[in-house]
Amino acid sequence: MRRGLVVGNWKMHGSKASVAELVTGLKRLTSHADADLAVCPPYVFIPSVVDGLAATDITVGAQNVSDQAEGAFTGEVSAGMLAEFGCRYVIVGHSERRTLFADSDKLVAAKFVAAQQVGLTPILCVGESLAQREAGETLTLVEEQLLAVIDSAGIQALSKAVVAYEPIWAIGTGKTASPEQAQQVHAHIRQVVAKASSTVAAGLQILYGGSVKADNAAELFANQDIDGALVGGASLQIEDFAAIYNAAG
């Protein structure tokens, strides 16, 4: 039985004051026995969020990581640094990184490997654009993004990772994939992994991301291959984020 997981991606939002308020709200949440909660703040807020949530079961992740261990890479942050500052997760391959910062499948795979080398759990994002969906390319594209990581890290690496299916057309747009559309892609992801290892496939947490809200979370989570959510906008509103977490618990 897979545990539920809800992860908040705060993107480049927040101030000292708003982050302190969010942490206060998160500390008041009641944890569920069968679902976990994590938040991914911008880098600079990670230490205060880790400290603020230390007495809770809520874990912290980063939104990106360098594929390099250290060196002259101005502006980058290594996986080792994230681990030292108390991160448990790191998002790799978010579509905003892929489209705005040209993170290729190869670079995403290298970031995935760098994260695992220091014990971080990568949250690998995959997903298609609207044009790719309309061209019927969704399943092939998602499979290619997944195989790029499996080819480089090996199938067992997925036993210590999370996959997030995030259709680009649903991110921050208010358009959510229907539960049937999401379930179809999640099932495909699990089948692709199962071809290499049925054990890894059975244990893999696959999250859905794309305009998940308090009022659509439960119908998404009711599907057998949807194990939780990666939540952008709604993770900045504590009541909404709490309701999504409650739907997963």
Q: Choose between 115 and 200: whose C-beta lies nearer to ligand PEP.
A: 115
Indicate if 186 belongs to the active site.
no
Interhelix angle 179-196/138-153, rounded to 10 degrees, is 30
Is 9 one of the binding residues for ligand PEP (CB under 6 A)? yes
- Cβ atoms within 10 Å of 57's Cβ, excluding its own: 11
Q: In the beta sheet, which residues pair with residue 61?
A: 89
CB of 78 to ligand PEP, least distance (A): 23
Based on the shown chain and the rule CB under 6 A, indicate whether residue 53 belongs to the binding site for ligand PEP: no
User: Of these, 64, 78, 211, 216, which contacts ligand PEP (CB under 6 A)?
Assistant: 211
119 is a contact residue toward ligand PEP (CB under 6 A): no
Binding mask 140-179 for ligand PEP (x = CB under 6 A): --------------------------x----xx-------
- In 32-47, which positions are buried (b, 16+ CB within 10 angstroms) versus exposed (e)? beebbbbbbbbbebbe
Ramachandran area for residue 193 (φ above 0: left; ψ -120 to 50: alpha; else beta): alpha
For 217, the 3-state DSSP assignment is helix
Supply angle C-alpha 83, 1, 39, rounded to 5: 30
Q: Does 244 bind ligand PEP (CB under 6 A)?
A: no
Q: Binding to ligand PEP by residue 14, rule CB under 6 A?
A: no
Residues carrying an active site annotation: 94, 166
Contacting positions for ligand PEP (CB under 6 A)? 9, 11, 166, 171-172, 209-212, 230-234
